[in-house]
Amino acid sequence: MARQDSPTPRPSVARLRDRPTADVIIVGGGINGIATFRELALQGVDVMLVERGDFVSGASSASSHMVHGGVRYLENGELRLVREAVQERNRLLRNAPHYVAPLETTIPIFKTFSGVLTAPFRLLVSHGRGKPRERGALLIKIGLVIYDTFSRGGGRVPRHRFHGRERSLRALPRLNPRIKYTATYFDASMHDPERLALDVLGDGIAAGQQQPGALPETATARAANYVSAVGFADGGVQLRDELTGDEFSLTARVVINTSGPWTDQTNAALGRPTHYMGGTKGSHIVFDHPELLAATGGREMFFEHSDGRIVLIYPLKGRVMVGTTDIDADPGEPSVCTDAEVDYFFDLIPHVFPSVTVRRDQIVYSFSGIRPLPRHDDTAPGFVSRDYRIEHGWLGGVRTLSLVGGKWTTFRALAEHLGDETLQLLGATRTVSTRATMIGGGAGFPRDRASRRIWIAKHGGSHDPVLVSRLLDRYGTRATEVLATLPAAPEELASAPGYSAEELAHLAGAEGVVHLDDLLLRRTSIAFVGGMTADTLREVAAAIAPALGWDAATQEAEVARTTELLRTAHRVELGARGLVAQH
């Protein structure tokens, strides 16, 4: 029951409470839950989504910023997943060109025949158990030929190419001179995954507006962050507003659990314990290191370390991201990049660029998350299937679907499958396909220089073309919504270069921001690129305070909260470089 003295609920929560019933409730606002929300909303299904934290703040916020078919999954025998992922990569290149672009990827190769015998043995006999062997040129060549075959027909990326040592070192002179070959192929980058997810969410909410100009309370697609599923009683899902503590009940014909690594915990809270999940932890660090950035030549370096684990060195936003680990983890514990993982990264970088020195004070950010993988017992973490499945169940007389697994690249296809199973339970039929549906600011996005100049001239108004170009990169064609809120010459914030107070206020008011870290970590790249100080947090908090109704005390509380979160979850000390000491 709601407390009598509780404050007025947020509009997103009020819309749930004012009409506490729907066809479907989705619990979990990561990319897969959000994509399923959009999928069902486009079919006209009355759907609600709740997320216990901020949207895209769990596993989906810890991605490697790649859209890829998973060439290494071929060794696992996951041909269906690779084929689907390559198809979805090509669709995202077409449907989300504002956030997804071709990514040149190079594999340094030090051996010729290694792994040719052990890879089939691991696949067919030991099923991922035992220590992997380093993959040699022949095995990688076979994999890339198959990969190109899956890519055929997409027409979105070039085929792979192999080069010997001499030519490879001409292209990448800082590369380890011990290499024998390099293999270069194309996948795709996803430079702002959280913003891409927010676009998918926005498209779903828009699809739920039954009539142009319809009132919000009549919407058939409703979503709220910071709302937890805490129980099930009398045919309804019991929810708690994490801001006020108020609890209320929602009813639906189908409950979909897309909680990622926390799927079992959510099912337990709903009174139906399961043991589906067995996630692994992946961490990344971000360097502000111009020399390392230059050494990459603008390419992602994708390779294996001496332990057979696949790792990457990735130029992104003027920084270099290094990742990722693959360690069994408990989703009940906070996921933080540890000193041992940092040591691992520092060991692997010289394997590729031995003449480039890296120091800990060049690290400006770290992040970590738990992959929503299925339970895998003694199978090596890197060999655990990245595919997904859907588990059916009941809560009283209510049907349930639990998603097990799933990866960023295949979110649309996964949502299509989950949506179809939901429609079948509802006795409904699909009316819209999302295979060619543009996402958010990808609609009308200019794809070449000439089109870009025309778009900027047409939509820039009195604004500086440099600003318009920056916002086009940041939001796609939804930049027009931001531009409409800006004065002719907005002034950049002193401690958050590239952002104005008006831009941040717009994001806070339009995109469900609740806490200061929602904006710094997921609506913008301010945290990712590093360099934040206490002044950054105060200046940004002041910029968004009017949009969120924050008084001075609330601003200070948010600054304190975010300072602690940065220190504990990302090991960032404001005004300092390098990672804070591990507790």
Q: Percentage helix, strand, coil, to 5, in the chain?
A: 40, 20, 40
pLDDT value, residue 41: 97
pLDDT value, residue 346: 94
Segments of the chain scoring below 50 in pLDDT = 1-5, 113, 115-130
pLDDT value, residue 1: 35
Model confidence pLDDT, tens digit, residues 321-336: 999 888 888 888 899 9
Model confidence pLDDT, tens digit, residues 450-467: 999 999 999 999 999 999
Distance CA 190, CA 88 (A): 13
Distance CA 469, CA 451 (A): 12
Distance CA 338, CA 582 (A): 7
Delineate the domains of the chain, giving CATH numbers in brackets.
11-59+194-278+385-426 (3.50.50.60), 66-190+279-371 (3.30.9.10), 444-570 (1.10.8)
Distance CA 58, CA 51 (A): 10
pLDDT value, residue 124: 37
pLDDT value, residue 149: 77
pLDDT value, residue 70: 73
Spatial neighbors of 498 by CB under 8 A, at least 6 apart, are 470, 492
- The verdict on whether omega for the bond into residue 409 sits within 30 degrees of 0, i.e. cis, is no
The pTM of this model reads 0.92
What is the token pair recorded at 453? 């100049």
Taking the CB of residue 366, how many other CB atoms lie within 10 A of it? Answer: 24
pLDDT value, residue 387: 77
560 membership: H or E segment, kind and range: helix 552-569
pLDDT value, residue 280: 87
CA angle 350, 310, 200 (to 5 degrees): 120
